[in-house]
Amino acid sequence: MTEHQTLTSYLEGWAGQDEMRLAVARTTLTIAEACCAIAEIIALGPLNGSLSAVQGENVDGDTQLELDMRANEIILDELIDAPVAYLASEELELPVPINEGSPLYVAIDPLDGSSNIDTNVSVGTIFSVMPMKCDKGDAESDCFLQKGIHQLAAGYVIYGPQTAMVMTLGEGTHIFTLNPDTGEFCLTFPNVMIPAETHEFAINTSNFRRWDGHVKAYIDDCLEGAEGPHGKNYNMRWIASLVAECHRIMMRGGIFLYPGDRRPTYRSGRLRLAYECNPIAFLAEQAGGAASTGDERILEVEPTDIHQRAPLVFGSRHEVELLTHYYKEFHPLQERSQLFGNRGLFRTG
């Protein structure tokens, strides 16, 4: 078997004697250990009880499953000895104090895609490590409202055919695969690069009637294939699991779109800025890709709430830039002028 550097060794070499780096390394390793425990639960599936049993709703009204809550509890328990002041989680209304006075806070989606657990689709944990910048006396809520550009580390763990951690410390994006024999994550794909060009897009086309003109025009032109303005044929993918979509893009390129739409609770997007959009955007950019709301770089979005939602487009850089052109050129509430033709497969009239 080929010798691979372990996550522990990699983090030790990266951190050196720098205090903040040591704190980030220790926190990242703690999250990895928590994810090993979550992976064991997921691997047992129904042998470990009804993981998809509904337990209630989170602060945003989303259904909480048994697996969501168990994953959240495991992460909280593991972080007790880490240099983390607070944990902000999708499953918690407010950030939870852990070790106040510590230099970091963690924003996390403990189990992304948990609604897919009964169908054995890949699910994952998404995390972001941020500096704790509050001075004494600051309102606690303001401590966590930092742009994504301030992230010190970010990543996700995907529970699929292999369990893998995709992680960045701001020096490239790297993939570590879990060795079940040793319980260690090992470096298998250093410095992953997302291809700049792609022939794949991922979006839930059942929502076409709800999209604005920007996204409709872009998807119409993708579906025109080689005869359309993009001059190439596309494949469409949609797994409905963010980590699974991201992992495919990391390995072979593509573009993922989860835009806002006309539904009242979707107008500002559906994915959470702090613990979904920002970490995925950080990973994508460090892998040579791009991430946007459509008209703004994700990492530059000014947060106003810890559970704030945002539209998310990420993946192959040239394709994200192409979509940005559609946001600049087309009116969001109207169809394109006849100058652009009437050829789209979704066009009605």
Whether residue 68 lies in the annotated active site: yes
295 part of the active site: no
Considering 66, 68, 200, 224, which one is annotated as catalytic?
Answer: 68
Residue 231 makes CB contacts below 8 A (sequence gap 6+) with none
Catalytic residue among 33, 66, 78, 91: 91
Q: What are phi and psi of 309, to 5 degrees?
A: -100, 160
111 assigned to active site: yes
- Residue 112 known to be catalytic: yes
Catalytic residue at 276?
yes
CA distances from 254 to 66, 141, 152 (A): 32, 36, 26
Which three-class secondary structure state does DSSP give residue 292? strand
Per annotation, catalytic residue among 66, 78, 109, 319: 109
209 class by beta-carbon count within 10 Å (0-12 exposed, 13-18 middle, 19+ buried): exposed
Contact assessment for residue 5 and residue 186, using Cβ atoms and an 8 Å cutoff: yes
The residue count of the chain comes to 349
Catalytic residue among 33, 66, 78, 112: 112
Q: Of these residues, 90, 220, 245, 319, which one is catalytic?
A: 90
Considering the candidates 51, 65, 87, 111, report the single residue annotated as catalytic. Answer: 111
Indicate if 187 belongs to the active site. no
Buried b (16+ CB within 10 A) or exposed e, 93-108: eebeebeeebbbbbbb
Is there a catalytic annotation at residue 91?
yes
Among residues 40, 62, 296, 335, which one is catalytic?
A: 62
SS3 state of residue 243: helix
Q: Which residues are catalytic?
A: 62, 68, 90-91, 109, 111-112, 276
